[in-house]
Structure 1
């Protein structure tokens, strides 16, 4: 007996006492899940991002620049690489406390490995999974920038956070995201060996700081 025949035989045996004709019980009711309000969506996003061992900073939008500067200074970081399209106000605030390396000056992965951190914007945040999606636009830079430095500080606006994955995919399928490479980030890079010992920083940044601009 093949595996298929065995599975079908088990199904027939399990349903042998079912005598109700198919469809006689009526249609199965469909329960539509509704998205929570914007406030709850942001709360859920912050909770799930933090659950991945990332740090979440919720700040007013006009305080992002100062928070970025204080975050890098408070962690004792001396250099940061920034994408070419990063907000000029953020870049200026960073330049007051650390050495800023432009995307064009970063060069090879070996050069990036000598930089302490990277600061980027983002494309979409997903509340239900605590995931941040980068589409590597001008304010996020090429993928290499966000994989090599040990610390990634990522800014996401409140209006970029959606409730679930289908909403995110729908948004990413439109302009200006269409056709761009996507990186889905759920917490700092982490993996486990055969003995289930967690190791961080193997495939990307060991530290993730998410600045949620509300």
Structure 2
């Protein structure tokens, strides 16, 4: 018998005929926030020192140009549904190559109004994790239909088998004296382009 089998046998013996745990209710109570969900999402994202640009589906291209503010070296993932002038597609760029990129433009899987969080599940248009973490500026396009009120609704929309990156504002950390430093663990600048569906 292996050590693993011995440990599991000991756990089973200790449990004996213990009753099954009670069913946990997943009908979470959602406390309404202030204002409509999109307004709350934009407000909470901005509280994290991120920039929010609201636009219509017809003006996403112009909003992306504004968000990139003339940057030259921009990378985009495969499957991004919007044209980003002058950008290059991610072809497996190394971390060093991504570090020389000014910005990345991605889509998102979900936006959470209560926390101002965007979630990437790295599907089409979202790219691999390094793509959203290494360049200095991350521009993320979130459609209004992707914004939910709270975390339980977001989790319900996500596939738990997919990798996920949860982003609440630009990367930031504080030392013992609470001096805020941005860009240590990811992009120093985050711009969320919120597309208000018609």
- Tell me the TM-score normalised to structure 1 length: 0.75
CA–CA distance in 2 between the matches of 1:124 and 1:113? 26
- Are the aligned partners of 2:46 and 2:52 in contact in 1 as well (CA < 8 Å)? yes
Pairing 1:66-77 to 2, within 5 Å after superposition: 66-72=62-68, 74=69, 76-77=70-71
Match of 2:171 among 189, 193, 198: 189
| Equivalent position of 1:84 in the other structure | 78
Q: Which residue of 1 aligns with 2:5?
A: none
Task: Note the aligned Cα RMSD (angstroms).
Answer: 1.8
- Find the aligned partners of 1:182 and 1:136 in 2 and give their Cα distance: 7
SS of the residue aligned with 1:191? strand
Tell me the residue number matched to 2:114.
128
Number of the residue aligned with 1:111: 97
Q: Distance in 2 between matches of 1:140 and 1:33?
A: 28
Check conservation: 2:142, 2:192, Cα contact below 8 A.
Answer: yes
4+ long deviations beyond 6 Å: none
State how many pairs are aligned: 169
Partner residue of 1:11? none
Matched position secondary structure for 1:212: strand
User: Are 2:40 and 1:44 equivalent residues in the alignment?
Assistant: yes
Q: 1:194 to 1:41 in 2, by over 3 A?
A: same
Q: 1:70: how far off?
A: 2.8
- Report the counterpart of residue 57 of structure 1 in structure 2: 53
What is the CA distance between 1:103 and its match in structure 2?
A: 1.0
SS in structure 2 at match of 1:77: coil
Deviation at 1:33, TM superposition (A): 4.0
2:186 aligned residue:
204
- Whichever of the two has the greater Rg, that structure is 1
